[in-house]
Chains A and B, each alone.
Chain A
Amino acid sequence: MNTFDYVRPSTVPDAVAAAAAPGSAYLASGTNLLDLMKVGVARPDRLVDITHIAGLDRIERLPDGGLRIGALVRNADLAHDPDFARSYPAVAEALLSGASAQLRNAATIGGNLLQRPRCAYFYDPFSACNKRAPGSGCDALHGENRLHAVLGWSPSCIAVHPSDFCVPLIALDAFVEIEGRNGRREISLDALHLLPGDTPERETALEPGDLIVALRLPARAAVFAGHARYLKLRERTSYAFAVVSAAAALEMEDGAIRQARLALGGVAAKPWRARAAEESLAGERPGEAIFRRAAEAALADAKPSGDNAFKIELARRIVVRALALAAAGTPARLPALPGSPFSSAPGALHDA
């Protein structure tokens, strides 16, 4: 069999030391990494299993009111944490709209942030892919690319970042805490994922050995709790990646928008923060026209990378809808079909 070293450090420094060697990869729950290893896309020489490091599975309130989420917290556990869901409901909704119940029970939040793209040509070792084999070309570019990027892409790579979780996180100014060979640092989530440019093989700002130890949500992000939604268009009602998605969060004051947060998913190689759109909303009263204007601003630079022009208009519309839903207020209970346009449809009795 394809042999590799398997190490199971019990402390963060041991993990970092073990993973700094070339060819190493961190293994969290493996729902993404092991799939990639099975198809031969990832062939690490050494797996550094981080699931036995103590202390990385906690959700803590910080003295400043922010929340710190250990990298090993499971997707489902975070989404169902009452304190978390109350403060950051759109993030909980995004988590529950992803994958399946079984996967969410296993997947860690660190793994979710760092999941690899779902581009079929990336997953297929026999296709040309600049991300997998730099310089080999991009078979998606003139191939089956209906669901590929419309923002921030380059001819070297048109893949999108698949995570739902990251979309509201980036809207809410989340930070990641990283432990590396030179100690601990933190960067904004916005700075974690990179656009492809000429180096699509570089997906993140992480250096060899860098371990994400935690994710932080600032206290001020909770001001949006009353008006925050995540909406995700899918090709079936559940268990599918986003065609496009949007997270919208509003801070309302006397019927007007004090400040807005907006991000898009499924459109670019990173979760896409729409700052110009956010600014266009500040001070306005919610309404179709200003939402549409915000949507235009969010997609101003969009261009199709293939057979996917429809995604641009669809992204505009989902922005309008997500903003309208956010303006209407966060529902008291998480909808039965989280993130679905059908979340209010009768007959849906379960988390799907």
Chain B
Amino acid sequence: MTLEILPQASPHIRHGSNIGQPLTRRDGVLKVTGRARYAADNHPPGMLYAVLAVSSIARGRVKSLNVEAAKSHKGVVDVMTSVNRPKLAQDPDEKSNPFMFRLDLLQNDRVRYANQPIAVVIAESLEAATEGAALLAPQYEAEPARVGLDGAESFVPPGVGVGGPAEIRKGDVEAGLDAATKRIDATYETPSQYHNAMEPHAIVAAWDGDRLSIDTPSQGLAMARGRIAGLFGLSPENIHIRSPFLGGGFGSKGLISGPQILGVLAAKLVGRPVKLVLRRDQMYGPVGHRPPTRQRLRIGVDGEGRLTALDHRAKTASSTFDDFFEAAADISHTLYASPAIATSHEAVRIDIGTPLFMRAPGEATGSIALESAIDEAAAACGLDPLAFRVRNYAEVEPISGKPFSSKALRECYAQGAERFGWARRPLAPRQMRDKDGFLVGWGVGTATFPALMFHAEARAIIRRDGTGLVESGAHDMGQGAWTALAQIAADGLALDLDQIEFRAGSSDLPDAGIAGGSAHTATAGMAIHSAGADAIAKLAELATRDERSPLYGAGNAGLVARNGRLRRRDDESRSESYAEILARAGLGEIEGRGASAADPAAQSTYAMHAHGAVFAEVKVDPDLGQIRATRLVGAFAAGRVINPRLVRSQYHGGMIWGVSFALNEQAIIDRRSGRVMNADLAEYHVPVNADIVSIEALLVHEDDPYVNALGVKGVGEIGVTGAAGAVANAVWHATGMRVRRFPIKLEDVLTPAG
């Protein structure tokens, strides 16, 4: 897809390279004027509306559905149930690789979690489909639901996160604890959190014979296409998915979800295009979520304030039918130096939809527990929590002993502390009051997130007129890929941003991998940049071999591309424009290809992570317990910054999620039925504007020669880590009360009556 940029005077004043410029989102005007077309904005001719009927029990089977009542409702065209659902080429319960998750596609009458789709009603209008779904009046044979972290027998999962081992140890933790002069043994609990992107999962699907055309938000177009191809027995080339904009993804749109596939099935059943959009409450089940955790941390510290042992054990929950285990304890591998580190995971299988990736999966849950425990350890030693963190600074990655490819965390601590005014912090809690008498507390947390690289491809073309076209099926979830990747694309071709056309967000473009793991800018960006370099190299080849060119004989290495011209390095006055070179060669265009992947050699040598330090101030009403995060300063080092404005916005969003994690967000789950009782935006609380009084993100310079040639690490998820713990620690510092169950509620910080 090409971004239809509105005619406007170019706001992009360029000083040197495109990379590094704080450009505003190129799609901003389209969005604020409502002209950005999201998936659900599509209405192909003849389109019908599909509405899911979802289960209101968490476990059992559907005994009956009143299909007749639904079908006889005016406007209802058909009802899809396990009886008449079109055949699939692949069992949705089949799992041919660990990245493939089981889907609920009406394969039988079983109910394995609340809000599981049990039927789809297709009608001429959304209203008719909605009423049809209500008329189905399902009858169930319910079985007792297994609810919560104690709802079933616990076991050690085969692996955690994306294929990591459930248990890792280095050194002797028990010996380290024995040798310690101070010990912490504390258990923290984090709640279930559910995805609430502004745009719910939506799909518009249209079949044309064995060709399939789809509009749906996706963070991984090629994988989505592959999954659909497998399920329907189609050739991937016959499937076209458009996903120019996502109204937020946060991991929930990384893998295509069951409801999206149900939209495709519905279209197949009725032989007409179908639109299916999840209702907000239907997001609480079939599209992944962050599972609850209970984490026990044991920390030993010697007389010098240095860790002697770090033991992090996490219990989490997964579904009864698939394997996703939140790797909460793994955060302890990378942050603090300790001679002995052990991390382990156990899990229960309960009647929930399979938990999946949710912004900083594992890191976010683990971070709030680890940062709280480190704070408790600092307090036990009578040390300033920042000084304590610096004292336990990891010069090499603690678990592996590998050097870091780069690590400017010390600078993050220093710059963040300076900006925040940390030096004025009293050591003891409950010491600070503001002029109105509110308790004031300051807390710090260390942020970290791995710098990942996946595989991506891109294509760059230099056209006859000297302009460029760059294509990569990349994904803009709102983070600004349309802008940041175009900046990289322009630099790759040594052109101005307004001299290139950048295409993304469509499955017929080169595979840009997955926009997840905070790796999209690095991964897609590298492919794009290499494609540009490849095109330039081909152009240089033409010029240096052509006697008529002023560049003749310069050799590839002797040229530099700048502003649409190739120049001799030794004499920049000798140059030629792209257009001239192509014209002389009689070529309409020249094409370059690029690909990117992680460099295994660098990866086995270096530990690669982004880092940051988040400082938080909270105010707490001393009598009433109401809490407000009044100031946040985060300082982050994540390699090269492609667009500081967009990067800052990622950090802000992440830190706000951290506040949410510490103070607001929680699915309230009925202990008997296992159903989420606050599945709407009024009651599933996230911070509102009034909760975020002051927020600041500092970009700390960091050069990383190893992560990738661009030097880019990820910024999308790191903001959540560190921030949540910083807020929790600030609450302790304000009140003197250590709350270990999140989110922290007002009753948790009330002084006893009397």
B691 on interface, CB distance cutoff 8 Å: yes
The interface-forming segment of A204-212, A256-264, A268-276, A316-324 is: A316-324
The interface-forming segment of B125-133, B283-291, B647-655, B726-734 is: B125-133
CB pair B131–A320 under 8 Å, yes or no, is no
A342 on interface, CB distance cutoff 8 Å: yes
Please give the distance in Å from A245's CB to the nearest CB on chain B. 11
CB pair A310–B630 under 8 Å, yes or no, is no
CB pair B130–A1 under 8 Å, yes or no, is yes
Binary flags per residue of B408-421, CB closer than 8 Å to A gives 1, else 0: 00000000000000
Cross-chain contact of B626 among A142, A233, A310 (Cβ < 8 A): A233
CB pair A337–B690 under 8 Å, yes or no, is yes
Complex: A239 Cα to B681 Cα, angstroms: 10
A30 on interface, CB distance cutoff 8 Å: no
Binary flags per residue of A14-52, CB closer than 8 Å to B gives 1, else 0: 000000000000000000000000001000000000000
Please give the distance in Å from A310's CB to the nearest CB on chain B. 4
Complex: A142 Cα to B671 Cα, angstroms: 9
Task: Using CB atoms, name the residue of chain B closest to A143.
Answer: B670
CB pair B670–A144 under 8 Å, yes or no, is yes
CB pair B130–A347 under 8 Å, yes or no, is no
Task: Using CB atoms, name the residue of chain A closest to B76.
Answer: A1
Complex: A139 Cα to B434 Cα, angstroms: 43
Cross-chain contact of B746 among A139, A233, A342, A347 (Cβ < 8 A): A233
B33 on interface, CB distance cutoff 8 Å: no
The interface-forming segment of A120-128, A152-160, A192-200, A216-224 is: A120-128
CB pair B624–A314 under 8 Å, yes or no, is yes
Q: Do A1 and B623 contact each other (CB < 8 Å), given the known contacts A144-B670, A236-B664, A240-B685?
A: no
CB pair A120–B693 under 8 Å, yes or no, is no
Binary flags per residue of B612-649, CB closer than 8 Å to A gives 1, else 0: 00000001010111101010000000000000000000
A235 on interface, CB distance cutoff 8 Å: yes
Write out the residue numbers on chain A whose beta carbons fall within 8 Å of the beta carbon of B685. 235-236, 240
Interface residues of B in 681-721 (CB under 8 A from A): 682-683, 685, 687-691, 693-694
Q: Is the interface of A mostly helix, strand, loop or mixed?
A: loop
A234 on interface, CB distance cutoff 8 Å: yes
CB pair A314–B750 under 8 Å, yes or no, is yes
Interface residues of B in 717-754 (CB under 8 A from A): 745-747, 750, 753
CB pair B677–A342 under 8 Å, yes or no, is no
CB pair A317–B671 under 8 Å, yes or no, is no
B56 on interface, CB distance cutoff 8 Å: yes
Cross-chain contact of B668 among A120, A233, A348 (Cβ < 8 A): A120
CB pair B625–A237 under 8 Å, yes or no, is no
CB pair B131–A347 under 8 Å, yes or no, is no
Please give the distance in Å from B619's CB to the nearest CB on chain A. 7
A243 on interface, CB distance cutoff 8 Å: yes
Write out the residue numbers on chain B whose beta carbons fall within 8 Å of the beta carbon of A237. 628, 688, 690-691
Complex: A341 Cα to B125 Cα, angstroms: 47
CB pair B671–A1 under 8 Å, yes or no, is no
Please give the distance in Å from A34's CB to the nearest CB on chain B. 13
Q: Do A236 and B687 contact each other (CB < 8 Å), given the known contacts A2-B134, A320-B623, A342-B438?
A: yes
Complex: A121 Cα to B693 Cα, angstroms: 34
Please give the distance in Å from B431's CB to the nearest CB on chain A. 19
Task: Using CB atoms, name the residue of chain B closest to A1.
Answer: B127
Of B436, B691, B747, B750, the most chain A CB neighbours within 10 A belong to B747
Interface magnitude class on chain A: 35 or more
B678 on interface, CB distance cutoff 8 Å: yes
Cross-chain contact of A243 among B668, B683, B746 (Cβ < 8 A): B746
Please give the distance in Å from B508's CB to the nearest CB on chain A. 38
CB pair B745–A235 under 8 Å, yes or no, is yes
Interface magnitude class on chain B: 35 or more
Counted as pairs of residues, one from A and one from B, with CB atoms less than 8 Å apart, the total is 107
Complex: A240 Cα to B664 Cα, angstroms: 11
Write out the residue numbers on chain A whose beta carbons fall within 8 Å of the beta carbon of B28. none
B672 on interface, CB distance cutoff 8 Å: yes
B75 on interface, CB distance cutoff 8 Å: yes
Please give the distance in Å from A206's CB to the nearest CB on chain B. 25
Q: Do A238 and B630 contact each other (CB < 8 Å), given the known contacts A121-B677, A313-B750, A313-B753?
A: no
Write out the residue numbers on chain A whose beta carbons fall within 8 Å of the beta carbon of B130. 1-2
CB pair A345–B747 under 8 Å, yes or no, is no
CB pair A348–B693 under 8 Å, yes or no, is yes
Write out the residue numbers on chain A whose beta carbons fall within 8 Å of the beta carbon of B671. 143-144
Of A40, A313, A320, the most chain B CB neighbours within 10 A belong to A313
Complex: A234 Cα to B626 Cα, angstroms: 7
Cross-chain contact of B672 among A143, A313, A342 (Cβ < 8 A): A143
CB pair A347–B687 under 8 Å, yes or no, is no
A352 on interface, CB distance cutoff 8 Å: yes
CB pair B630–A345 under 8 Å, yes or no, is yes
Write out the residue numbers on chain B whose beta carbons fall within 8 Å of the beta carbon of A239. 682, 688, 690
CB pair A120–B621 under 8 Å, yes or no, is no
Complex: A318 Cα to B434 Cα, angstroms: 20
A344 on interface, CB distance cutoff 8 Å: yes
Complex: A106 Cα to B737 Cα, angstroms: 41
Binary flags per residue of A135-148, CB closer than 8 Å to B gives 1, else 0: 00001001110000
Complex: A243 Cα to B747 Cα, angstroms: 10
Please give the distance in Å from B583's CB to the nearest CB on chain A. 58
Task: Using CB atoms, name the residue of chain A closest to B669.
Answer: A144
Write out the residue numbers on chain B whose beta carbons fall within 8 Å of the beta carbon of A243. 746
Please give the distance in Å from A303's CB to the nearest CB on chain B. 15
CB pair B672–A310 under 8 Å, yes or no, is no
CB pair B747–A238 under 8 Å, yes or no, is no
Write out the residue numbers on chain A whose beta carbons fall within 8 Å of the beta carbon of B134. 2, 40
Cross-chain contact of B693 among A340, A341, A347 (Cβ < 8 A): A347
Please give the distance in Å from A124's CB to the nearest CB on chain B. 7
CB pair B693–A2 under 8 Å, yes or no, is no
CB pair A345–B746 under 8 Å, yes or no, is no
Task: Using CB atoms, name the residue of chain B closest to A231.
Answer: B624
Task: Using CB atoms, name the residue of chain A closest to B693.
Answer: A347
Of B688, B694, B750, the most chain A CB neighbours within 10 A belong to B688
Cross-chain contact of B625 among A1, A314, A340, A344 (Cβ < 8 A): A314
Task: Using CB atoms, name the residue of chain A closest to B660.
Answer: A236
CB pair A345–B619 under 8 Å, yes or no, is yes
Write out the residue numbers on chain B whose beta carbons fall within 8 Å of the beta carbon of A350. 689-690
Q: Do A345 and B691 contact each other (CB < 8 Å), given the known contacts A234-B626, A243-B746?
A: no
Write out the residue numbers on chain B whose beta carbons fall within 8 Å of the beta carbon of A236. 663-664, 685, 687-688, 690-691
Task: Using CB atoms, name the residue of chain A closest to B126.
Answer: A1
Cross-chain contact of B619 among A240, A316, A342 (Cβ < 8 A): A342
Complex: A344 Cα to B747 Cα, angstroms: 22
Interface residues of B in 431-471 (CB under 8 A from A): 434, 436, 438
Complex: A243 Cα to B627 Cα, angstroms: 13
CB pair A341–B621 under 8 Å, yes or no, is yes
CB pair B670–A345 under 8 Å, yes or no, is no
CB pair A344–B436 under 8 Å, yes or no, is yes
Task: Using CB atoms, name the residue of chain A closest to B281.
Answer: A39
Please give the distance in Å from B458's CB to the nearest CB on chain A. 43
Please give the distance in Å from A340's CB to the nearest CB on chain B. 8
Cross-chain contact of A235 among B619, B664, B670 (Cβ < 8 A): B664
Q: Do A341 and B690 contact each other (CB < 8 Å), given the known contacts A1-B125, A120-B678, A310-B750?
A: no
Q: Do A347 and B664 contact each other (CB < 8 Å), given the known contacts A120-B677, A143-B671?
A: no
Write out the residue numbers on chain B whose beta carbons fall within 8 Å of the beta carbon of A310. 747, 750
The 3 closest A-B pairs by CB, nearest first: A1-B127, A352-B690, A310-B747
21 sample A-B contacts, Cβ–Cβ < 8 Å, listed by A number: A1-B130, A120-B677, A124-B677, A142-B672, A144-B668, A233-B624, A236-B685, A236-B691, A238-B691, A239-B690, A313-B750, A313-B753, A340-B626, A341-B621, A342-B628, A345-B436, A345-B619, A345-B628, A345-B630, A348-B693, A350-B689
Beyond known contacts A120-B677, A139-B670, A144-B670: 9 more, CB 8 A cutoff? A40-B134, A235-B745, A236-B691, A313-B750, A313-B753, A341-B626, A344-B436, A347-B630, A352-B688
Interface residues of B (CB under 8 A from A): 56, 74-75, 125, 127-128, 130-131, 134, 434, 436, 438, 619, 621, 623-626, 628, 630, 663-664, 668-673, 675, 677-678, 682-683, 685, 687-691, 693-694, 745-747, 750, 753
